[in-house]
Structure 1
Amino acid sequence: MAVPCVRLALLLCLMIPATVASPRSRSLRKSPAHASASRPTAFFEVDRPPRARGSSGRRCSTLLLSASFGSTFDKPPATAAYSPPSCLVKAGGRASAISLAVLEWRAACRGPQLDRIFGVWLAGAELLRGSTAAPPPNGIVWSVSKDVTRYASLLAAAGNSTFAVYLGNHVNATLTGVYHANVTLHLYLRRTPTTKPTPATAPADLIVPMSRALPLNGGLWFPIQSAADVASKSVALPSNTYRAVLELYFSSHQDDELWYKNQPGYQNGPFREVTARVDGVLAGSVCPFPVIYPGGIYPLLWRPIAPIGSFNLPTYDIELTPFLGKLLDGKAHEFAFAVTNAMDVWYIDANLHLWLDPRGTATTAGLVSYAAPPTNTTSSKSADPVDTHYHATADRLVSATGWVKSSYGNITTNATRTFALDYLLTFETLDLTILADTGVVATDGAGGVLYSAQTHGNFPLGWVYQQNSLTVTHGLEETTVAAGRWSSAPPYRSLRTTQSSLVEDEEGGGKSWGVRQTYRYNATDGCYFRNVTSSNYSVVSDHSNELCVKGAASAGVGTVTAALPAVNLP
């Protein structure tokens, strides 16, 4: 017989799942419970600040758009004309003059409101997707700074283009919050502009958007409302393309926002896979990082420290170079996107990054090998009617090898993507792990490595419900090893961040909550560490440095074990 869910009644019983135990356990220090009634609360996502290298050290900043978003759901995006900033024009106007480009989103909202998704596009190419926070009545402020250097060719493109922002908000007598946002571009220019960018690994020469075209109502993304839905765009590639990478943007909402908690046989289960096909052939698939929005699961869990990846959603690269043999005929080819087991609704679009041979009018290419067996999935339910367990797994491999002949010689590229999902649900706990591996290796005719990158990702999510408390632990671990004569990436980089959040019922009907997060980035080009703890709306401990500490990347985050003074829900 099921135990009642008591006071956390907003959570469905089967949604109330589990946490991964931490090797270190420390209690939070107490702090004032209430957010200030006179000034907004600063919310933030823990992330590494973008760093400029090889630049003049001076920043050139341009306000691209300032807009307010009240009742904007299913209305046209806010738009502004864009042309390259004057500082870039004075530096010669080339994309290679940009050492670092940072897109800054800075926003505020006063009054209660839900978390909302927003997107930012330039000339139809998406640059940033994020969620707002879920504001309490006193309001919030928050900002996001994203490295957008990979879009340098788009930022430097001559002529006018359209900069667009969509944030679908709804205002009524209860939800009164209006979002006010400024979007600013910060450019750091090289002391000496590069005249010959590194082949294949410098920012792409051309970025082709795969999104809906303005004018329209809503975002430029395509809606995917079911597993049968397919979004597509037809594009003809330049004949001198020698490398192609498809960058995917997507996010899940409404019925599928919490897809990762679904038990097998309910709401299409806990497995989702985003697929990209070229002329009907599967080119790559992604089992997504389980993003939690700031209003997701239980809003107090994420105040004021936002969930991992929520303010700046991750994107995913699919190497298309092995498939160029069928794409260089000057004809339009269909790029199609779908979501396995999708429910209403996912938003998806893509950017096609292309590298063009500067000395050749046309390249030739061919596919050498290809393997994409069907996804393996399993699901089961234990026979015990009292202590029921649900288990599900999924895994897949997509691998392709192809050659491209250009003025750089005959280059063979192998691209491989694999993932494995493991899901275990009980009445009180959820334990979800997603492993994702990607690899790209490009070699010359003699077998020498021109560039390679091997990335291993581990995305654990767990929660546990115990009487009158809910604890959620969420993590992202990603390690990349890069090499090759053309490689411009750090030879080694590792990111490990873990977040533990707790909300508890208190006597008298109040609630208390706390968040602890550690973030460690170690790389051959620099390091960053931050350890931050909050109690209710207050940050009670915050330490950061840029020291590289050997072996420190394996340190975990202490589970939040005690919360905090009682506070009534806003």
Structure 2
Amino acid sequence: MRHRVIMCMLTGAALLAGTLLGAAPAQSAGGRTEASVPAGRPVEPPTEFGTDWHDPVTAAPPVARPPGAACRVTLAETQFRDFTPYRGRYTPPRGCGSRWSKVVLRLDGKVKGRQFDRLGYLHVGGVEILRTSTPEPSPDGISWSVEKDVTRYSDTFRRAEDVEMLIGNVVDDTYTGVLDVRATLTFYAADRDTRPAAVPDRVLTLAGGTALTTPRNSERIVAEVYATGSGGGCEEFWYLAVPKQAPYSCTADRGPYREVQIRVDGRLAGIASPFPTVWTGGWSNPFLWYVLAAPRAFDVRPIEYDLTPFAGLLNDGRPHRIEVSVAGVPQGQAGWSTPVNVLVWQDAHREHVGGVLTVDRAGDLADTAAYTPGPEQRVDTRGGHRLTVAGYVDTSHGRVSTTVARSLANTSVHRWTDGENTDGLDATWTDDETVTVATHGRPATATRTHRTYTMNGTTVIGSDGRLRTELTLGDRAAVAGTRGGRRTSRTWLDDTYTGDAAYTLNVPREQRHAAATTSERYRLHGAGGCYDHTLTTVQGVLTRDRNGC
């Protein structure tokens, strides 16, 4: 039995610091609550999964909402049964002005029956504002929601725009789940008590998929890429790929190392480690994800690249070629989606901001995957890359120099037995970035971001056909700001998921005797205080909900 065939089957094709520092904990520092579900009584979960379970939840903090007037606009309300996109029209809200303190996107969904996990997107005016995936339903049906702070796209929301949304789906006699969704935007008006949010002046997309023309007075430029391995095939779980000479169901030219690269007119301008997203059918075991999804599965965050060193080049008024590629993908093989938004801040006091790219220095890309045959076969992977880019722009407030240094590293050990009846991975990715900004006559500021992603899991199929998966996932980041060498801020995030699930293969649903214990702990510390939330489930029942530092 090769268990890879029942892995998830998705269909369809320096702002991190601001995001973390600006995240407002829902629980104030020092507060602590712990509840059983239902409150006040111990929870006795069933001995195995039934036909219904708790709706999907997350330990992540809700989006903080400011006080004052709010206006809501519906972007889409539809059902997805196939691969036909929803198309509609967005009109800006009335009664909340055109400068907002916050804009919050909410996606509400429901589905029942049987269905795979599905990948989706939401575009307004061609700008991707959400990349998401769906939970797998119970026979009796589930509801879920996703909230996201989309204030950074305010420029797009100030005018009427086309809306396009798609969650590609298949509905037939076997897969009966119709995806019923509603997407809304809530605008919080700025007033005397709440200032307008500091947002990019322009949000741009690429003409023809690659051409970018920036305003000639751009003084800061950030590209964001919603990179996902998807669309079927092994790139959905690229972290398990092995070299071609190894006898395994997912192979690549070299192995599992992946790197998302962005180029400006052919020059390497940014590198990043993709987040190892696990979708809600992943690791051969959907029972791991019925209540608690893996980190980022419902809100796929974009990779961000500070392209400000290239602003002098881009500000000539002509279109420039922006290309995104994923290193490590076998040549000619599809499987990655990489839509791009470009966020631009402009100099209000100059029509043209000139500048020069002064440094564009890349190290050699390291990518080795050593295969060791034997009763327990093994692939040891080491990969990494370094890039430094620097440049300056001459603005109305002086010459501003920006240096972006990024360093990536990946190590993994993948072990499996004949037939893949035992299959395990222990992997770590680090993505370190420092953005330094120096203005003549002022102390230099620097934002240092250290990202760490971890995956440690094993799937075993016993002689009795019982499949068991044990898995731990980590999404961690530490962000430190300095000015003139003195620390001005520090934030750290730790989102950890653990799961242990088992069921019997190749039998009807009622004979699977599935059982699972899962837990997520989400911790966030920073200027906004402390947030610490733990959720635990047993057989789809929420047994612990602890919130507080």
TM-score strictly above 0.5: yes
Instruction: Give the partner amino acid of 2:252.
Output: Q
2:354 is the alignment partner of 1:360: no
Instruction: Give the partner amino acid of 1:63.
Output: T
| 260-269 vs 107-116, which moves further | 260-269
2:429 is the alignment partner of 1:434: yes
Aligned to 1:248: 225
Q: Give the superposition deviation at 1:64.
A: 2.1
User: d(CA) in 2 for partners of 1:29 and 1:260?
Assistant: 37
Aligned to 1:397: 386
User: d(CA) in 2 for partners of 1:192 and 1:84?
Assistant: 22
Aligned to 2:276: 290
Q: Is there any run of 5+ residues in structure 1 with no aligned partner, and where?
A: 16-27, 213-231, 548-570
Aligned to 2:11: none
Q: Deviations over 1:517-554 (max 9, x none)?
A: 11101111122111110011111111113x4xxxxxxx
Aligned to 1:10: 3
User: d(CA) in 1 for partners of 2:139 and 2:307?
Assistant: 47
Residue 366 and residue 435 in structure 1: after superposition, are their counterparts in 2 closer, same or farther (change >3 A)? same
Residue 107 and residue 124 in structure 1: after superposition, are their counterparts in 2 closer, same or farther (change >3 A)? same
Q: Map 1:433-452 to 2 at 5 A.
A: 433-446=428-441, 448-449=443-444, 451-452=445-446
Q: Give the superposition deviation at 1:378.
A: 1.5
User: d(CA) in 2 for partners of 1:168 and 1:263?
Assistant: 29
> Are the counterparts in 2 of residues 490 and 524 from structure 1 also a CA contact under 8 Å?
no
| 423-432 vs 471-480, which moves further | 423-432
Residue 506 and residue 30 in structure 1: after superposition, are their counterparts in 2 closer, same or farther (change >3 A)? farther
Q: Give the superposition deviation at 1:260.
A: 0.3
Aligned to 1:32: 46
User: d(CA) in 2 for partners of 1:471 and 1:307?
Assistant: 13
Residue 88 of structure 1 aligns to a residue whose secondary structure is coil
Aligned to 1:491: 489
Instruction: Give the partner amino acid of 1:537.
Output: G
Q: Deviations over 1:372-425 (max 9, x none)?
A: 123111121236x22332101110011111111111211000111211000101
Q: Give the superposition deviation at 1:264.
A: 3.0
Aligned to 1:224: none
Q: Map 1:148-297 to 2 at 5 A.
A: 148-155=150-157, 157-158=158-159, 160-192=160-192, 202-210=198-206, 232-253=209-230, 254-255=232-233, 256-265=235-244, 266-268=251-253, 269-297=255-283
2:88 is the alignment partner of 1:86: no
User: d(CA) in 2 for partners of 1:444 and 1:476?
Assistant: 34
Aligned to 1:523: 526
Q: Deviations over 1:91-130 (max 9, x none)?
A: xx23xxx222110000001221111101011110100101
Residue 309 of structure 2 aligns to a residue whose secondary structure is helix
Q: Please, which of 452, 455, 460 is the counterpart of residue 458 of structure 1?
A: 452
Instruction: Give the partner amino acid of 1:540.
Output: T
Q: Map 1:529-568 to 2 at 5 A.
A: 529-545=532-548, 547=549
Q: Please, which of 38, 49, 55 is the counterpart of residue 62 of structure 2?
A: 49
User: d(CA) in 1 for partners of 2:544 and 2:67?
Assistant: 35
Aligned to 2:403: 414
Residue 314 of structure 1 aligns to a residue whose secondary structure is coil
Residue 151 of structure 1 aligns to a residue whose secondary structure is helix
| 126-135 vs 503-512, which moves further | 503-512
2:290 is the alignment partner of 1:311: no
Residue 136 of structure 2 aligns to a residue whose secondary structure is coil
Aligned to 1:500: 498
Q: Give the superposition deviation at 1:182.
A: 0.7
Q: Map 1:326-337 to 2 at 5 A.
A: 326-337=313-324
Q: Give the superposition deviation at 1:59.
A: 3.3
User: d(CA) in 2 for partners of 1:13 and 1:133?
Assistant: 16
Aligned to 1:381: 371
Q: Give the superposition deviation at 1:351.
A: 0.5
Aligned to 1:126: 128
> Are the counterparts in 2 of residues 45 and 307 from structure 1 also a CA contact under 8 Å?
no
Residue 358 and residue 129 in structure 1: after superposition, are their counterparts in 2 closer, same or farther (change >3 A)? same
> Are the counterparts in 2 of residues 321 and 402 from structure 1 also a CA contact under 8 Å?
yes
> Are the counterparts in 1 of residues 53 and 540 from structure 2 also a CA contact under 8 Å?
no
User: d(CA) in 1 for partners of 2:144 and 2:196?
Assistant: 39
Q: Give the superposition deviation at 1:196.
A: 9.2
Q: Give the superposition deviation at 1:448.
A: 1.5
Q: Give the superposition deviation at 1:323.
A: 1.0
Instruction: Give the partner amino acid of 2:123.
Output: W
Residue 259 of structure 1 aligns to a residue whose secondary structure is helix
> Are the counterparts in 2 of residues 246 and 317 from structure 1 also a CA contact under 8 Å?
yes
> Are the counterparts in 1 of residues 54 and 542 from structure 2 also a CA contact under 8 Å?
no
Instruction: Give the partner amino acid of 1:50.
Output: V
User: d(CA) in 2 for partners of 1:257 and 1:310?
Assistant: 12
> Are the counterparts in 2 of residues 41 and 139 from structure 1 also a CA contact under 8 Å?
no
User: d(CA) in 2 for partners of 1:307 and 1:211?
Assistant: 34
User: d(CA) in 2 for partners of 1:430 and 1:209?
Assistant: 37
Aligned to 1:482: 481
User: d(CA) in 1 for partners of 2:5 and 2:181?
Assistant: 34
Residue 295 of structure 1 aligns to a residue whose secondary structure is coil
C-alpha RMSD of the superposition:
2.7
Q: Is there any run of 5+ residues in structure 2 with no aligned partner, and where?
A: 9-41, 245-250, 417-422, 506-510
Q: Deviations over 1:122-155 (max 9, x none)?
A: 1101001010111232222110000111112222
Residue 125 and residue 456 in structure 1: after superposition, are their counterparts in 2 closer, same or farther (change >3 A)? same
Residue 327 and residue 387 in structure 1: after superposition, are their counterparts in 2 closer, same or farther (change >3 A)? same
**What TM-score do you get using the length of structure 1 for normalisation?**
0.80
User: d(CA) in 1 for partners of 2:382 and 2:95?
Assistant: 52
User: d(CA) in 2 for partners of 1:435 and 1:320?
Assistant: 21
> Are the counterparts in 1 of residues 59 and 534 from structure 2 also a CA contact under 8 Å?
no
Aligned to 2:22: none
Instruction: Give the partner amino acid of 1:233.
Output: T
Aligned to 2:414: 425
Aligned to 2:148: 146
**Percentage of identical aligned residues:** 26
User: d(CA) in 2 for partners of 1:483 and 1:338?
Assistant: 32
| 186-195 vs 138-147, which moves further | 186-195
User: d(CA) in 2 for partners of 1:490 and 1:208?
Assistant: 31
Aligned to 2:16: none
Residue 238 and residue 41 in structure 1: after superposition, are their counterparts in 2 closer, same or farther (change >3 A)? same
Aligned to 2:76: 65
> Are the counterparts in 2 of residues 476 and 497 from structure 1 also a CA contact under 8 Å?
yes
Q: Give the superposition deviation at 1:45.
A: 3.2
